[in-house]
Amino acid sequence: MASTSNAAVRVGVRTRSLSRNRLRYIRQLGATDIFVDHADTEEEPDDFNDQDGAETIAVGPDQIPSVRELRAAKSRIEDAGLTFTGIQSLPYSMYGDIMFGRDDADEALEQITTLIRNLGEAGIPVLGYQWNPRSVVPMRTSPVETRGGAEATAFDYDELEEPDELAPGLERAYTEAEFWEHYQHFLETVLPVAEEAGVDLALHPVDPPVLESLGGIPRLFRNVENFEKAMDLVPSDNHGLKLCLGCFSQMGEDVTDVLRRFGERDQIVFIHFRNVVGTVPKFHETFVDRGNFDTVEAVRTLQEIGFDGAVIPDHVPKMCGDDDWRHRARGFTVGYLRGVIGTVGIESTQSPRGTPGE
């Protein structure tokens, strides 16, 4: 999380494939940290084996990677000159029963705590998660074109079909109080395990952060205040934010204020660094060098608050010649972020804050 001295902002990458070529490419970009995207064969069976060799880690119900498997993946990543920093996110198939308070919630909690213990024993310090049923409520609507015709993901509330209807598979609408109760039970169960294992849990905002409820499902982590409530509900030094700048910008927040707010609380585990145009109920992703907020100012704020961790590209546009992982756009984003971080680092040593650089 944050540090008061010798802070180092690093650039990481999220990837499902751990093929030799993928890892070599990431290292060639100058990124340092790997966050492995889970491969859940229940949610995404067609994507489990990608076209790049498909060495990956399966995470899902009854698919908890062993310490041996995690250590093997860690060695593979380290052999490429990179660091296995964390699992990008839990799949919905693992936490959905807990979120809705279903009969299988205890079994799901047992599997998640087993995963946390295994990560700790393997020396992998971060587990990202969200409280958002992505497979039940649409995360994005029709894509749009951004600079030069690049394809960008987007959300437009007006494009949703029957948004007031119950989401598929639900028999009734759930209340926010119910969801907070189930979430608190989740934290009370997993955080003591995380503390013992030395693993940081990192909560991502609901995406899109629109409305209090959608399809009968409360969207708890839609604003800053609810994130503060989440952090205070079961206080722990091993709980923080997977702070997505795009999501907070979509909320209409000043991202530098958000960074300072949670940086002062030492609750930022890692950063999803993406830019967007617009706010809910209508927005779209764009290139990192344009959009709602100033990337340079955001990086400068990270330096000021003493953030010592990784920023990773997220939801990059699709450029000409890109593969499904969007390797060209991801490469552009890594390079741009590294350049900004390097420049801001030089500025911080050459020019005292408040004194214009010469």
Q: Which amino acid is at 94?
A: M
CA distances from 187 to 50, 183, 240, 317 (A): 34, 6, 12, 34
Condensed to tens digits (0 to 9), the pLDDT of residues 180-238 reads 999 999 999 999 999 999 999 999 999 999 889 988 999 999 999 999 999 999 999 99
pLDDT at 55: 84
In this prediction, residues 263-274 reach a mean pLDDT of 97
Q: Is 197 left (phi over 0), alpha (psi -120 to 50) or beta?
A: alpha
Condensed to tens digits (0 to 9), the pLDDT of residues 273-304 reads 999 999 999 999 999 999 999 999 999 999 99
Condensed to tens digits (0 to 9), the pLDDT of residues 98-143 reads 999 999 999 999 999 999 999 999 999 999 999 987 655 678 999 9
pLDDT at 17: 94
pLDDT at 44: 43
Q: With bands split at pLDDT 50, 70 and 90, how would you rate the model's confidence at 76?
A: very high
Examine the pLDDT at 345 and tell me if it is beyond 50. yes
Q: With bands split at pLDDT 50, 70 and 90, how would you rate the model's confidence at 161?
A: confident
Examine the pLDDT at 266 and tell me if it is beyond 80. yes
pLDDT at 165: 87
pLDDT at 49: 42
Examine the pLDDT at 51 and tell me if it is beyond 60. no
Name the pTM for this structure: 0.92
CA nearest neighbour of 243 among 307, 296, 331: 307
Examine the pLDDT at 41 and tell me if it is beyond 70. no
CA nearest neighbour of 206 among 187, 236, 190, 230: 230
Averaged pLDDT of the chain: 90
pLDDT at 121: 98
**Structural domains present in the chain:** 9-348 (3.20.20.150)
pLDDT at 123: 98
pLDDT at 346: 78
pLDDT at 47: 41
